[in-house]
Structure formats: structure tokens, C-alpha cells
Chain A
Amino acid sequence: MKVKVLSRNPDDYVRETKLDIQRVPRNYDPSLHPFEVSREYTRALNATKLERVFAKPFLASLDGHRDGVNCMAKHTTNLSTLFSGSCDGEVKVWNLTKHECVRTLQAHEGFVRGMVVRHCGTSFFTVGDDKTIKQWKMEAPAYGEEEEPLNTILGKTVFTGLDHHRKEGVFATCGQQVDVWDEQRSSPIRSFTWGVDSFSAVRFNPVETELLASCASDRSIVLYDMREPAPLKKVIMTMRSNTVCWNPMEAYYFTCSNEDYNLYTYDMRYLDRPITVHMDHVSAVLDVDYSPTGKEFVSASFDKTIRIFPKDGGHSREVYHTKRMQHVICIKWSADNKYILSGSDEMNIRLWKANAAEKLGVLAPRERQATNYNQKLKEKYQHHPQIRRIAHHRHLPRNIYHQTKEQRVMKEARRRKERNVRKHSKPGTVPVVSEKEKHVVTVVK
């Protein structure tokens, strides 16, 4: 008697190695899958929820300074090294992987105002309130050797900022004027003044390396070309800008952090209005730094928070705060686009994840695929109210929350008043001024 049995060929369903994906015969005919949208929606919702669950951005706090951290510098060739200068003139070198200080030196008397690592990473410069520029060796002094700067330049006035050229041995300082120095000389090769008595920050353009931008105390941002004897242009705003940062991937964009709680992204060719106004902070913005991909930037504010903005977004995508963090004075985005470092008033340097919910370390391929898929799902369903609600929810300290609310009310009131004035005056006499134009006073050629 012949017995018929069901038989299957194992080649059809057994995978060759255990690393392979399980072979699942599938029919992709869309008519067989009527609930694809709802299923994906559920997945997206879950992914969003999980993202919020896993969003733990704070990694470590580096303590050791005996005064507020006033400035920081990234190492140009080494990811794990960080330099920080405090208000008592002390400079510390940190090892980020070990979360420890590897070297401490008393660099200046008074504040350390600025710090920058040479483009090749062999030495670093500091400027301080004692009117000196000092160049230090990268290596710690050997046993018994004294900690001494390689080079000291005595200036006539206090220096408030410092930046180094990306390719050459040239650096720029600012104080009463913007000076460009050759490393080999003790006097500046160029110095720019333009009717302003003090500057708060100067930055080299990392792409077009000969260009500089500086923030002056007369509420202006001034552009320079190192090769030209005169400055290029300046834009005067309603309030003073504290720092400025160039986009490292897009040569003509820069962002400045302003006292009026906003950040402004400018195209250096068209200074008459900013490209984007980034709002969300509720107090003066003290520092800004671009991510090395040039897609986002992070800002530090007097309101004790750190916010991350997309470069073309008007509002922040993320806000970081902790109970103990006071006014954040300086901020850096690490060169591998993964971390953010903030130095604040209460003597601590904090290490954050740039992407709050990201899993650190090496991902297995399937894990990576899953995260990619989830990311896309979140993107796809981002406009759905439930998902939006979850994805956009952030906890804020009470006072910041209330301040935000207050700001909103004030803004609304101002808007209403303007509208009323317009309504009750002759048509055309009260023009509509856009938010972008509102903050620029004039452009000086």
C-alpha cells in the first residue's frame, strides 16, 4: 500500500548559517495585506514610545574645577581629550573615556578667556585676563620639570576670545580690536578696528579658512578677511551677540547666539536678514557650536538649559537640563557627532549624548536595521497627533516652563497690539515686519 505523506524540502526553509535571516515565504501582494497602514502606525507609535523611554542623554559629569568653567576646547586630532579653562585661570585637560582630569595647569591670573588647540594638535593656546597669550605643549611636563608655556605674548589689552586657523600657523584674538597673529611673531600681522571698542568672540571660518567673524559690543557682528587690510561688513542687531559659529559644512552660513534669547543663522552674503531665527530659550544664549555634520547646532543658555536646533528649524528638537546645572557658559559638540559637552557656572563639565535615545557602542546589523526602520516609521508618522504628542513631549523645570509660558503671552500681547495699531491707522503706514527683519537694525558696509 502506498501511503501519501506531506513532505517538505528543507532547502526551502532552512537557513545556511545562523547569521542568515529566517527564510519566510511571503506574498507581497498588497491586496492580501489590507491592514498595513494600521500595523505600521502601531509600530511607529511603539517606536516613538520606546524612544522616549530610552531617552537618557546625560552621561557623565566631570568635576574638578574650583571655579566656573569659562571656556572649553576640543582636541583637533583626538576625540577623547578635552580642555577646559575656568574663571580662576586654571586649565584642565580631561580624558573623556575615563572621565578624569589628566593635567592641571595654572595658566593665567584671572579668567581664562579663550582656548584653542593648534590645527595639528601639538600645542594649544590660551588667553586670559592678564593680557597674555600663552602657548602650551600638548604633553604634560616630565617629572621634576616645571609647567611652563612654550611661548608668551604680552598684549596691551585684555583678550576676550581666541581662535586658530584651520590650516596654517595663524591665530586670531579679540579684545579691543581683532588681531590676527602669526605664531612666529610677537606682534599681530593684522589688526582690525571699526569704531568698536570691544569684541566678545572671534571665529575662523572652517571651510573658507581666511574668513573670520566676530561679535562686538555695539551689538554688531563683523566679518573679516584675513588677507584684506579692512573688515568686510557688519550687521548691527537689536541686541548684542555673544558668540558666533560657522557651519563646518556650508561655507557661508553662520549662527550667532544673542542676548535676546534667540539664535540667528545668517548667510554671510546677505546680512540684511537672517535665514532663520531660532527661538526657544528663555534667557540670553551664551554659546553655540555646530555639529560636525553641519546639520544641527547646540546652544547653551543663561536659563540653565542646553538646546539642540536643526540648522534650518525655528525651534529646538531637544532640550537638556539637570537639577544641578546652573548657567551654561560654554558648549561643544564632539568631533564624531555623538556627544555634547557643556561647561557651566557650578564648576562642572557635563557629557551628553547628542541623540538622546541612541544606543551607544557597536550595533549588530539587525539591530541597526531595526533602528533604521523605526526611525523611518517615526518620520513617516510624525504628523499624526498621538505620535507627535509623544515625540514632542519634554519635561522642563518649573521655572523654565513658566517663563516659556510667560514669553508666549508677552509675544502674543505684542502681536495683538501691533495688529490693533495697524487696524486703527491709515493702511500702509504700519508695515508688517517679519520676525526675521525685526532683529536687524542695519547693515554697515
Chain B
Amino acid sequence: MAKVSKKKVSKKSLRKSSTVTEETAEVRPDVVYDEDDDEDISKDDENISSEEEEDGGDDERKRQKLLEAISALGGKRQKKLGERSEAAVHMSEFTVNAEGEGDKVDLSDLIGTLEKTSAVPARTKKQLKNLQRTNKTIECPLSKQESERIQRDVAFQKASTEVTRWKDIIKQNQRAEQLVFPLDKEPTGPRPMERIVNGWKAQTPLEQEIFALLSANKQPINDPILTPAEEASMRAMSLEEAKIRRAELQKARALQSYYEAKTRRERKIKSKKYHKVQNKAKRKEFLKKFDEMVKTDPAAALEELNKIELGRMQERMSLKHQNSGKWAKSKVIMAKYDEGARKAMQQQLEVNKDLTQKLVTSLDKEEEEEMEAVDEEVLPDFVNDAEQGLDSSNPWMKGKLSVDPAEKVLSDNVDVTTEGPGAVGNPAEEEEGEEEVVETEEETLLREFDSRRKQRQAHEADAAPALSVGPEESTAEEPEASDPEEEELSQFTSLFRGIADSCREADAEMAEAAADSSHTDPSAQLEEGLVRIRALEDMELLSQQESASDGAPVVPPATENLPSVTPPADKTRKRKRGIELKEVLTKETKVIKVPLVPTMEDTEDSEEKLDQRGLIKEAFAGDDVVSDFLKDKRRQEDAAKPQVVDLTLPGWGEWGGTNLKPSRNRRRRFRIKAAPPPPRRDQCLPSVIMSEKRNSSIALHQVNSLPFPFQTHAQFESSIRAPLGRTWNTEQTVRKISKPKVVTQLGAIIQPMSREELMKDKKHVSAGSRSSVDSWKRKR
């Protein structure tokens, strides 16, 4: 306000002064500045005394002028600027005055008089006062470039959000099986009745009358399915039901909250013992249930089994109990100096071993069947199960440990150092140490047994009764298993318990073995190093010795144990162990030494690398790759051999009938032996399998790399395998399969997508939801 008023003042004054100058221009053309000054001076009180002033000042001015004219006569003219003083000093019309020369006009100067004037409303005064108090300056406006940039940015954001609305439609169209252009074409064929009726209006008086009647009686006009009354009744029903549902939900929620509270409380209990007991109880419960389940619901049981298997796999994958964790690493560092740490480490590795032990191997099947044949007549099948449980300790492991020649030599070497003390005393403490693990093991085992029994029962139905050999082992184990307290239980339960115990025993054994192996396993890591590095530095050797010596009070290594266990078993029943490499191997596997870069690097690298290798070794400890490979190769060789074609027809040229076989001569005549195949290309290559199936003439037509959208070969193959033609498919299917992706109409202009599509899409969604609601209603 103040500023404005000031401006006005100055403007006024200017205008006036200009008029005055115009008046006096002719009189004093030279002295411009002075004149201005004069005017400035004069304008303050011009109203009052302009004339007087003019009179008074006239004389003096004339004199001045005269003087100047004289001075101008002599020589060059000196133009002397007139003095100029600040105009503002004299501007006091509205008592706007700054004190002193350099001061600015302040707001207080302007509104000083405001207090006194009553015409100004109090609110304005207050506002002005506030304004006076706050002495913030307004920030200077942004530069043009910046403001434009902001403008652009905002506009772009707006446009991009607007455009993004189309995303759904675009996605939908991209995914659509078939697009028919033009898009906005009305669908041909009969339209729903409602739409027609909606568009149509009663015109003739008769129609109008009818509609009036209908609407008067609350009959449906558009949607002929439900009358309003019916709908109302429906709604009422739905309310009731909604109430019931709500009550149910409430109850469920309450129950859930109770349950949650309970579990929370339980989880907070810190006592280990409590949890142990709890777990045990749970397990027992579960065992019982599982048994039931096996009988009632084998599918669920199988699922449980699968879950266990999955757990095992996960353990194997995750390396959770191996030496890669933070804790484990710290222990590894400590292990050199601390006995306890070493032990802890070992224990963890044992845990890992146990968890990753495979329970079912497909290779066992034959022997299992044999075993059944042996056992089934004498004992209930639980016993068999227990037996099986005993056997199912990882055959791969055994095979490997017993077979791998290089390793065996080494382990023997190690044995010399470690053999001796405490081979027998361990199991008990071992068992105590990992009671939990063992028990879970037992559980899984039991489950496995049950499921296997199921399978076997199915087998038994058609299997012929066979050999009967005394089941020594199982019977031998039975009495020892039964505890005094359990004797009063029924035979069934006792048997069951016995099995459980025996299997625990087996577990203990297994754990033992695992312990051994886990003890030897680190050494195996190192051993591996040794084998390879035999000719190299002693560093590895040294460390290996260390590890061998520090595990002093532990069992003799598994290599000792297992052979001693297995031979009697082999004696008693003539069956093959999972894999005996010696039997599998046709010739001695050549230990291929690989004097390659990696080993050199190994020697140079520190433990880290070794660790990794050890890790890998550990992770694949259960697999015996070599024998597996050999077996695979042999299988392929067999498959590739040409089969003998037997074309004999019984009863053709001879007497035929039951128990009559075609004569040998005839059989020989009609048996066609194929020519031996050309020698395999991989005949002389022990470690290579080369497929003989490749046919170069066909390969020309075959796809040799997986094409883009497919993830796996199986996918691609299945896509090729499904025929499209009407020779192999029904008419409907063919039509459906061979629908083209884009259909256009001949001679129809395809307009670009219009905004209505967007609306349609929305409407469609909402209509869809509404219709679903309707259908839901109708169902009720």
C-alpha cells in the first residue's frame, strides 16, 4: 500500500513538473536541472504558494542567468551542473519520511499515521502490524529456463500417467489368442434380449398400455428372470445367511486368536527339556497317526514321505550344516587350537551326513523283493521293514568307500595312524549326542517302511511264493530290542516297538558310520588333495596328518567297518549289494591323473580353495560317479545291440498245445540273428559315451538348439509332438487350434484404438463383476 501511494505521489509530481516546465520552457531553456529542482521544491506546497514563489524567485533567477550569459561570452562555455538535492526529503505529504539521508522508507514510516485514523478497520491494522514484524523477503522468482523445465516435467508426468491407462488393454491385446479387426465392430449373431428391449420403446397405444400394466404390477420388463418381489426375497435370504456366515467367521477368528496365543506362550518357554519332551510326544503322536494314515490314506502318507524327502534334499542343497556358515568358519579357525571347537565342527558335519542320507534308492528294489520273498512267510512285514531299514543305509556311500581304489589305499594309510582305541565304546555317547537327529531319522524311516510295505503288499499279490530262508538277523535282533516295561503290551505293539528300537539301533550304527565318515571326510577332503598332490608339496600332507591326529578318540574309519559288516550279509543271502564296484567294473578303472592347471593352482592357493573343493566333495559324498557312469555306458551298449528276432510260431508244422514247445530245430530255423553292429566308436574310450543314434541324413532336418520361447527340451518336443491336422484331431479341435492370430475383414477400414475402448474395458470389467454377482444371487 505504502509503496503504491508513494508511487502515485511521485507520478503526480512528475506530471505537474512537466506541465510547469512546458510553461516555462521558453523562458529558461538552458538550465534544465535547476529548474527541475525548483519544481520539486515548489511542488510541495504548490497549491498554496505557487504564484508567490514564482514572483519571489524571478529576480534571482534573472540575475543568475545574466551572470551565466556573461561568463559564456568569455572563451569556452562551461556548463555547470546545478546542484541537486534529494527530492524525498521534501516529500512529506503523507508524513512519509525516512530519517537521515541513507535510510530507506520503512513500513513503520508509512503506517505511523494509521494508528490514529479510525477509518481503517482494525483487522487491516493487525495485518499490517504482523507484516511489519515478519521481515522475511520473498524469494526471487526462478529463472525462465528453470521454470520452463519444471513446467515441462509436470506436463510430461501428466501425459505419461494418462498414457499408462492403456497398459491393461495393450497387455490384453498382446496376450490375446485372436484379435479381430476392426475392433469396434458390433458382434454379429443374436444379441441378448435385455439389450434389445432396452433400446426399444413402447410406441403404439397398445404397447404402452401393456407396459403400464406390467410396471403397475411390478412385473419385470427388461430382465425377465426375476420379479422385484423375488429379488427382494432373495435379498432377505442373503442377509440371513450373511449373518450366519459372520457369526461363523467371528468364531473362527476367536479360535484362531486363542490358538495363536497358546502357541506364542509355548514358544516362549525357554526350557530345552520341555521342548524335548514336547517334541518327543509330538513324534509319538505322529507315528501313531502315520501308521493310521498308511492304512486309511496312503496318498497322504506318501505325501508325508515326500515331505521328508524334500527336507533331505533341502538340507543337501542348502549346506546348512556344513562348514560354510559364519559359525562354522569361526570354528574352523579355532579348530587348530581348541579341541571343543573341533568336536563341535565334527558334530555338525555328522548332523549334515545324517540329514542328507538318502533313504530310498531305486537300486535296492531287486534285493528288497528278494528279501520279501525270504521273510514274508515267517514274520509280519514290519520286521521286514526293520530289516530293510537296516539295509537302507546309503549303499552309494558304502560302495564308494569300499571301492575307490586310490582312496582305499590312502584311507588304509590313515587307518594305521588312527586305529586302535575306542572303536566300541562310542555308539552310546554318539547316540546321546545326537538323539534328536536319530529320532527324526527314526521317524522318517518308519514312515518309509510303512509306505514301502504298502508297495510291497501290492507286489505280493502277484508275486509267486519263493525261497524260504531263515531270517536270522531280524529274529536275533528282536529279543534284545524289547524292553521289560514294554513286555506287557500286545504282541503287535511290542513288535512295533522292537522294530522301532532296532531301527534306532540301526540308526545308531548309521550315525556311527556317519560319524566315522564325517571324521574321515575332512581328511577325505585333504586326502583328495593328497592323492592329487602326491608329488607336490608337503603342506597338504601336514595338514592331513594334523586332522588325523586331532580326532584321536574316535572310531576306526568306516572303510574298516563296512567291509566287515557286509561280507556276512553277502554270505547269508546271495544278493547284490547296491553297487560293488568290483563287480560292476569290467576292467580296472584307470585313475586318470590330471596334471593340469587347476591342481597347480591348488597347490599355490591357500585353504580357501581346498575348502571349496572339500565342500563340493562333501555335497556329493553320497554319489559314486565313476561306477554310475560305467553302468550307464554298459546299459547303452546293451541297448544298442541288435536283438534276436524270434519268428517261431508254436503249432505251425508241428503239434501244438499246452506244455508243448516248438522243437529246437524249428526254433533255430526261425530265429534270426542280426548281424553284429559295427564297433562302437567309444569302444576304446573308457570315459566317454558316444551315442550311435545320430544319423547324419536325419540330422539335416533336426533342430540342434533349443529355440527361443521354450525353456526346456521337453517343452519343445511336446509342442512338436502334438499334431494339428484333421487326420489326428476332431473337427472342432482343428478349428480351434488353427485359429489365426489376427483376423481382418476384407475391405474394412481399421481405425486406430479409440478412447471408447478404454471405457468399454472398464465397463466390461464392472459388468463382469455385476453379472457374476447376479449369477451368485441366482444360485442362492
Contacts and interface: CB of A to CB of B under 8 A. Distances in A.
Nearest to A233: B156
Given A251-B753, A386-B700, A28 B152 contact: no
Contact of B749 (A26, A30, A79): A79
B175 to A, nearest CB: 13
Contacts of B156: 223, 232-233, 445
Given A225-B159, A337-B750, A30 B728 contact: yes
B149 interface: yes
Interface stretch (B81-89, B161-169, B215-223, B661-669): B161-169
B159 A380 contact: no
Given A207-B752, A383-B703, A372 B166 contact: no
Contacts of B750: 292-293, 335-337
Interface string A332-353: 0001111000000000000000
B152 A248 contact: no
A384 B166 contact: no
Contact of A376 (B738, B745, B751): B738
17 contacts: A36-B723, A39-B725, A79-B747, A79-B749, A208-B163, A233-B152, A249-B173, A250-B166, A251-B166, A252-B170, A268-B160, A336-B745, A377-B725, A381-B720, A384-B703, A386-B700, A445-B156
Contacts of B158: 225, 228
A211 interface: yes
Contacts of A233: 152, 156
Given A79-B747, A384-B703, A445 B738 contact: no
Interface of A: 21, 26, 28, 30, 33, 36-37, 39-41, 43, 77, 79, 166, 206-208, 211, 223, 225, 228-233, 248-252, 268-269, 292-295, 335-338, 361-362, 369, 372-373, 375-377, 380-381, 383-386, 445
Nearest to B742: A293
B738 A28 contact: no
Given A225-B158, A376-B724, A385-B703, A252 B163 contact: yes
Contacts of B704: 385
A207 B753 CA distance: 6
B562 interface: no
Contacts of A206: 752-753
B727 A33 contact: yes
Contact of A248 (B163, B729, B753): B753
A344 to B, nearest CB: 25
B422 to A, nearest CB: 54
B163 A229 contact: no
Contact of B719 (A229, A337, A361, A380): A380
Contact of B744 (A230, A338, A373): A338
Contact of A372 (B162, B728, B740): B740
Interface in B39-68: none
B705 to A, nearest CB: 9
B166 A336 contact: no
B746 A372 contact: no
A336 B747 contact: yes
Contacts, number: 154
A40 B738 contact: no
B744 A385 contact: no
B126 interface: no
B181 A292 contact: yes
A296 to B, nearest CB: 10
A335 B753 contact: no
Given A33-B728, A211-B163, A268-B163, A225 B155 contact: yes
Nearest to B723: A36
B740 A375 contact: yes
A252 B725 contact: no
Contacts of A229: 151
Contacts of A223: 156, 159
Interface of B: 148-149, 151-153, 155-156, 158-160, 162-164, 166, 170, 173, 179, 181, 700-704, 707, 716, 719-721, 723-731, 734-735, 737-740, 742, 744-755
A77 B730 CA distance: 42
B152 A269 contact: no
B163 A251 contact: yes
B724 A377 contact: yes
Contacts of A225: 155, 158-159
A233 B754 CA distance: 24
Given A385-B700, A386-B700, A445-B149, A166 B752 contact: yes
Contacts of B151: 228-230
A40 B742 contact: no
A377 B737 CA distance: 11
Contacts of B703: 383-385
Closest 4 A/B residue pairs (Cβ): A206-B752, A248-B752, A292-B750, A383-B707
Nearest to B153: A445
A383 B728 CA distance: 22
Contact of A249 (B723, B724, B752): B752
Nearest to A362: B746
Nearest to B157: A232
A30 B724 CA distance: 12
Contacts of B745: 336
Nearest to A41: B701
A228 B155 contact: yes
A164 B155 CA distance: 22
Nearest to B163: A252
B216 to A, nearest CB: 45
Nearest to B147: A230
A440 to B, nearest CB: 17
B484 to A, nearest CB: 64
Contacts of B751: 292
B556 to A, nearest CB: 51
Contacts of B148: 230
Contacts of B164: 252, 269
Nearest to B164: A269
A74 to B, nearest CB: 9
B747 A230 contact: no
Nearest to B746: A362
A336 B746 contact: yes
Contacts of A362: 746
Contacts of B159: 208, 211, 223, 225, 228, 232, 268
A28 B704 CA distance: 31
Given A231-B152, A251-B170, A251-B753, 9 more contacts: A28-B728, A30-B728, A40-B725, A207-B752, A223-B156, A250-B166, A293-B744, A336-B745, A362-B746
Contacts of B735: 369
B372 to A, nearest CB: 35
A358 to B, nearest CB: 11
Contact of A36 (B701, B716, B728, B747): B728
Given A77-B749, A223-B156, A293 B149 contact: no
Contacts of A30: 728
Contacts of A373: 724-726, 734, 738
Given A206-B752, A362-B746, A372-B738, A252 B730 contact: no
A33 B728 CA distance: 8
A403 B746 CA distance: 38
Contacts of A380: 719-720, 724
Nearest to B744: A337
Nearest to A381: B720
Contacts of A208: 159, 162-163, 166
Contacts of B726: 373
A83 to B, nearest CB: 16
A269 B728 contact: no
Nearest to A36: B723
A147 to B, nearest CB: 28
Nearest to A231: B152
Contact of B727 (A39, A269, A295): A39
Contacts of B731: 21
A37 B738 contact: no
A41 B701 CA distance: 10
A295 B747 CA distance: 18
Contacts of A250: 166, 170, 173, 753
